[in-house]
C-alpha cells in the first residue's frame, strides 16, 4: 500500500434501535428516531480513507450520511464492525479523546457549535480543554483565525456575525485542535450562495495544505470539487468514484434522487441534441470553454 | 389579499450608539394572488422585512398595508388583517411542540377562539393541503415523522389559520433534491387551491425564475430591483455586484456570449437553453 490510511471502516453496522433479550426496544444513544425506522442506519460499510484525500459523501435524506460521519470521531459507536481512526478503534474508551482531537467535526448549524461570547475565546475552547500551554493557545488561535480569514473579528461577539462568518469560526475552533482530518457535515446547508462559496474555498484550502477532508453535502457542485465521491443509499455506499466518472451515470443518479451539477447536466442535454463534447465536463465554465473552441 | 409596503424603514436600537439601519425607504406592492420571490444576500434585510409583513416587528418609518388596511393600527380590522397573513419561518419544524399532529395544527385556530370542531375541521383541511393524510397521521406524535413530513405539518399549522397571504422563508433549506422539489410543488398546489398571495424568500435563482411572477431584490436594506424574473435577471452585472447571480442556464448563456457565441441570455429553463446553444452553434 503506497498511501497511508487515516480512517478505516470494517463492515460497520449501526441501528438507532436496540432490542434487548426480552424484545424490549430502546433507542441507542438517546437519539429521537421514528418507530418505523427500525432498520439499520448503517448496513455493512467498509471503507478506507487515505491521508490527505478530499472525499465527498452524498445521498438523499435518511441514507445514512450523517450517521456515518458521527462514527468517524466516536460520537456514535458501531453496533457491529469496527472504525479505526489513525489506527485507534473508536470502541476503545481510552482512545476517544485522542480520536476527537485528530478527527475534528463541523456541523450544519453554526449556532449550535459556538460556546463563547467572544470569537477568540470560542476558538481557544478546544485547546484549553486539552490543557495546552497558554502561549501556545494564543499562537494556535491566531493561526486558526488567520486560516479562515477572521482574525480581525477576534474580539467580536459571534452573535453579531453572519452565518458564513460563524461557520468560519466553528472551523477555526476545529483547526485550533490541530486535527489531521476534518469531517464537514453539511456545513453550507444554512448559508446563502456567497457564504457557501466562502466555506468551500476554505475547505479546498485545507485540503491543499494536506489535511484529510470529508465533506457531506446535498450540493453536487460542492461534491464535484472532491477527489472522490461516495454515494450512500439505505445505509450502504453504493457508488464510490471520481466526480467525472460518477456524473457519467446520469440515469442512476436520478433514480437515487440526486442532482447532477448544472454543467454536467447541461453537457448531457447538449450531447443528446448532437453536440460533440468531451467526457468529464462538470462545471459551467468548462462547458463554455468546450463549446467555444 | 394585496400587500403594499410604503416607505418602510426600520432601525435596530434607534437612538443608541449601536443603531443599525436594517431597512430604508422600501416601497413595493404585491397584488392579490401574485407569487413574489424575495432574493438578497445574508444581512440584506430579508428577515427584517418578513417580520414586518405580519406585524411581528413594527416599522420605525412607513407602513405595511393589507388590502389598504395598516396592519399596525390598534383596530379590529388590523388584527383581522394580520391573521390573514401567515408566516412560515426557516426550519419551521423546530416549532412543533404538541403531543399529536392534529393538536399541533389546531394550536393557532384554538388561540383565535374557534370551537374545537371548527379547529379540527380547519386542521384537517390544512393537513390535506400539505399532502399529509389526516386519518393516518392525526394521532401520531409530530416528533416521529420524517424531516420532510415535520416541515409539512409545521406549514399546515400556518395554513390552518386560513391565511390569504403565505410568506415562506427558505422553505427548502436542508432538504435533499427530491424534498426540495416536493415542497415547492406543494407551494404551487396550495397557491392554486386557495388562490393565495405568496412571498417566497429563496437563495435559489432557478426556483425564483421558474416560479415567481415578480422578483424583489434586497441589498443593504434597500429594495434594489423589483420586476418580472426576465427584467430582474437581465441586470446580470448589477446582480453580481451585490453578490447574487442569474439562474444557472442564464449564467451559462452569459458566459458563452462573452466568449463570442451569439446567444440570447434571458432563458431560465435548461432544455430551452440547450436548444438555444445548439441553434447558435449551427
The predicted-structure confidence for A273-289, as pLDDT tens digits, reads as follows 999 999 889 999 999 99
Which residues in chain B are closer than 8 Å to A263, comparing Cβ atoms? Answer: 252
Q: Which of B143, B248, B261 sits opposite A262 (nearest CB)?
A: B248
What does the pLDDT read at residue A259? Answer: 85
- Given a cut of 70, is residue A36 above it in pLDDT? no
ipTM: 0.81
B-chain residue closest to A63, CA distance = B176
Largest CA distance in chain B: 68
What does the pLDDT read at residue A115? Answer: 86
More confident residue, B264 or A248: B264
What does the pLDDT read at residue A20? Answer: 61
- Given a cut of 50, is residue A33 above it in pLDDT? no
Q: Is B98 exposed, middle or buried (0-12, 13-18, 19+ CB in 10 A)?
A: middle
Tell if the CB–CB gap between A60 and B178 is shorter than 8 Å. yes
User: Out of B23-27, B150-154, B158-162, B174-178, which region has the weakest mean confidence (pLDDT)?
Assistant: B174-178
- Given a cut of 50, is residue B90 above it in pLDDT? yes
More confident residue, A25 or B90: B90
User: Out of B43-47, B189-193, B238-242, which region has the weakest mean confidence (pLDDT)?
Assistant: B43-47
User: Out of A263-267, B40-44, B128-132, which region has the weakest mean confidence (pLDDT)?
Assistant: B40-44
State percent of chain B over pLDDT 70: 100
More confident residue, B146 or A148: A148
- Given a cut of 80, is residue A17 above it in pLDDT? no
Decide if B208 contacts B171 (C-beta within 8 A): no
Which residues in chain A are closer than 8 Å to B260, comparing Cβ atoms? Answer: 292
Classify the phi-psi angles of B167: left when phi > 0, otherwise alpha if psi is within -120 to 50, otherwise beta. beta
Interface of B with A (CB under 8 A): 41-43, 143-148, 173-179, 203, 243-245, 248-249, 251-252, 255-256, 259-261, 270-271, 273-275, 277-278, 281
Partner residues linked to A56 by β-bridges: A215, A229
- Given a cut of 50, is residue A1 above it in pLDDT? no
- Given a cut of 80, is residue A29 above it in pLDDT? no
The predicted-structure confidence for A84-126, as pLDDT tens digits, reads as follows 999 999 999 999 999 999 999 999 888 888 888 999 999 999 9
State percent of chain A over pLDDT 90: 65
> How many C-beta neighbours within 10 Å does residue B188 have?
13
| Residue A23's pLDDT band (cuts 50, 70, 90) | low
Topology (CATH level 3) of domain A53-74+96-255: Rossmann fold (3.40.50)
Q: Report, as an integer, the average pLDDT of B62-66.
A: 96
What does the pLDDT read at residue A138? Answer: 96
Q: Report, as an integer, the average pLDDT of B198-206.
A: 94
What strands, in cross-sheet order, belong to the sheet with B165-169?
Answer: B85-88, B165-169, B197-201, B35-40, B214-219, B222-227
Decide if A70 contacts A93 (C-beta within 8 A): no
State percent of chain A over pLDDT 70: 92
What does the pLDDT read at residue A35? Answer: 46
What does the pLDDT read at residue A213? Answer: 97
State percent of chain B over pLDDT 90: 81
CA distance A184 to A200: 11
Q: Report, as an integer, the average pLDDT of B145-149.
A: 83
- Give the contacts of B85 (CB within 8 A, at least 6 positions apart): B1, B3, B53, B54, B55, B66, B71, B163, B164, B165, B167
The predicted-structure confidence for A223-259, as pLDDT tens digits, reads as follows 999 999 999 999 999 999 999 999 888 788 888 888 8
Q: Report, as an integer, the average pLDDT of A264-268.
A: 92
What does the pLDDT read at residue B14? Answer: 84
- Given a cut of 70, is residue B114 above it in pLDDT? yes
Tell if the CB–CB gap between B252 and A262 is shorter than 8 Å. yes
Q: Which of A60, A266, A273 sits opposite B252 (nearest CB)?
A: A266
Question: Which phi and psi angles does A256 have, rounded to 5°?
Answer: -90, 10
**Per-position DSSP letters for B136-196, written without gaps between them:** HHTTS-GGGS-HHHHHHHHHHHHHTT--SEEEEESTTTT--HHHHHHHHHHHHHHHHHHT-
What does the pLDDT read at residue A279? Answer: 87
**Buried-state track B57-79, b at ≥16 Cβ within 10 A, e below 16:** bebbbbbbbbeebebbeeeeebe
The predicted-structure confidence for B122-142, as pLDDT tens digits, reads as follows 999 999 999 999 999 999 999
In chain A, domain spans = 53-74+96-255, 261-293
Q: Which of A61, A189, A289 sits opposite B173 (nearest CB)?
A: A189
> How many C-beta neighbours within 10 Å does residue A217 have?
26
Task: Give the minimum alpha-carbon distance from A3 to chain B in angstroms, rounded to a whole number.
Answer: 33
Amino acid at each position: 500500500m503506497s498511501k497511508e490510511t487515516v480512517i478505516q471502516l470494517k463492515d460497520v453496522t449501526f441501528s438507532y434501535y436496540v432490542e434487548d433479550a426480552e424484545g424490549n426496544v430502546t433507542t441507542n444513544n438517546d437519539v429521537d428516531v421514528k418507530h418505523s425506522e427500525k432498520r439499520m442506519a448503517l448496513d455493512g460499510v467498509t471503507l478506507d480513507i487515505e491521508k490527505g484525500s478530499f472525499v465527498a459523501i452524498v445521498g438523499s435524506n435518511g441514507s445514512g450520511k450523517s450517521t456515518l460521519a458521527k462514527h468517524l470521531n466516536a460520537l456514535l459507536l458501531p453496533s457491529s464492525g469496527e472504525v479505526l481512526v489513525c489506527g485507534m478503534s473508536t470502541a476503545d474508551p481510552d482512545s476517544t479523546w485522542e480520536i476527537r482531537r485528530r478527527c475534528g467535526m463541523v456541523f450544519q448549524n453554526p449556532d449550535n457549535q459556538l460556546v463563547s461570547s467572544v470569537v477568540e475565546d470560542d476558538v481557544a475552547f478546544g485547546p484549553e480543554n486539552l490543557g495546552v500551554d497558554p502561549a501556545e493557545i494564543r499562537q494556535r488561535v491566531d493561526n486558526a483565525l488567520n486560516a479562515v480569514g477572521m482574525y480581525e473579528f477576534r474580539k467580536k461577539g459571534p452573535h453579531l456575525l453572519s452565518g458564513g462568518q460563524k461557520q468560519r469560526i466553528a472551523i477555526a475552533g476545529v483547526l485550533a485542535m490541530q486535527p489531521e482530518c476534518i469531517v464537514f457535515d453539511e456545513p453550507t446547508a444554512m448559508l446563502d450562495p456567497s457564504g457557501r462559496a466562502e466555506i468551500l474555498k476554505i475547505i479546498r484550502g485545507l485540503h491543499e495544505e494536506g489535511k484529510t477532508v470529508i465533506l457531506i453535502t446535498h450540493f453536487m457542485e460542492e461534491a464535484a470539487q472532491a477527489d472522490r465521491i461516495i454515494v450512500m443509499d439505505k445505509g450502504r455506499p453504493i457508488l464510490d468514484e471520481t466526480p467525472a466518472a460518477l456524473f457519467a451515470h446520469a440515469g442512476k443518479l436520478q433514480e437515487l434522487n440526486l442532482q447532477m451539477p448544472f454543467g454536467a447536466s447541461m453537457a448531457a442535454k447538449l450531447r443528446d441534441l448532437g453536440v460533440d463534447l468531451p467526457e468529464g465536463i462538470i462545471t459551467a465554465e468548462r462547458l463554455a470553454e468546450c463549446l467555444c473552441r | 389579499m394585496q400587500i403594499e409596503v410604503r416607505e418602510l424603514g426600520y432601525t435596530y436600537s434607534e437612538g443608541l450608539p449601536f443603531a443599525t439601519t436594517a431597512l430604508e425607504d422600501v416601497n413595493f406592492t404585491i397584488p392579490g394572488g401574485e407569487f413574489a420571490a424575495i432574493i438578497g444576500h445574508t444581512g440584506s434585510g430579508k428577515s427584517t422585512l418578513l417580520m414586518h409583513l405580519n406585524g411581528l416587528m413594527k416599522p420605525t418609518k412607513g407602513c405595511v398595508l393589507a388590502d389598504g388596511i395598516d396592519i399596525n393600527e390598534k383596530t379590529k380590522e388590523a388584527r383581522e388583517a394580520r391573521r390573514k397573513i401567515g408566516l412560515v419561518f426557516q426550519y419551521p419544524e423546530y416549532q412543533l411542540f404538541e403531543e399529536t399532529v392534529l393538536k399541533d395544527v389546531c394550536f393557532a385556530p384554538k388561540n383565535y377562539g374557534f370551537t374545537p370542531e371548527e379547529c379540527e375541521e380547519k386542521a384537517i383541511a390544512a393537513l390535506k393541503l400539505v399532502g399529509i393524510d389526516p386519518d393516518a397521521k392525526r394521532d401520531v406524535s409530530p416528533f416521529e415523522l420524517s424531516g420532510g413530513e415535520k416541515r409539512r405539518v409545521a406549514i399546515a399549522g400556518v395554513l390552518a389559520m386560513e391565511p390569504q397571504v403565505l410568506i415562506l422563508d427558505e422553505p427548502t433549506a436542508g432538504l435533499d433534491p427530491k424534498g426540495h422539489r416536493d415542497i415547492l410543488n406543494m407551494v404551487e398546489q396550495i397557491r392554486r387551491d386557495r388562490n393565495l398571495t405568496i412571498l417566497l424568500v429563496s437563495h435559489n435563482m432557478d426556483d425564483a425564475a421558474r416560479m415567481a411572477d415578480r422578483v424583489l431584490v434586497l441589498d443593504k436594506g434597500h429594495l434594489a430591483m423589483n420586476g418580472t424574473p426576465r427584467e430582474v435577471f437581465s441586470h446580470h452585472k448589477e446582480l453580481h455586484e451585490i453578490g447574487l447571480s442569474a439562474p444557472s442556464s442564464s449564467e451559462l448563456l452569459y458566459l458563452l456570449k462573452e466568449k463570442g457565441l451569439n446567444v440570447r441570455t434571458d432563458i431560465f429553463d435548461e432544455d430551452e437553453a440547450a436548444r438555444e446553444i445548439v441553434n447558435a452553434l449551427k
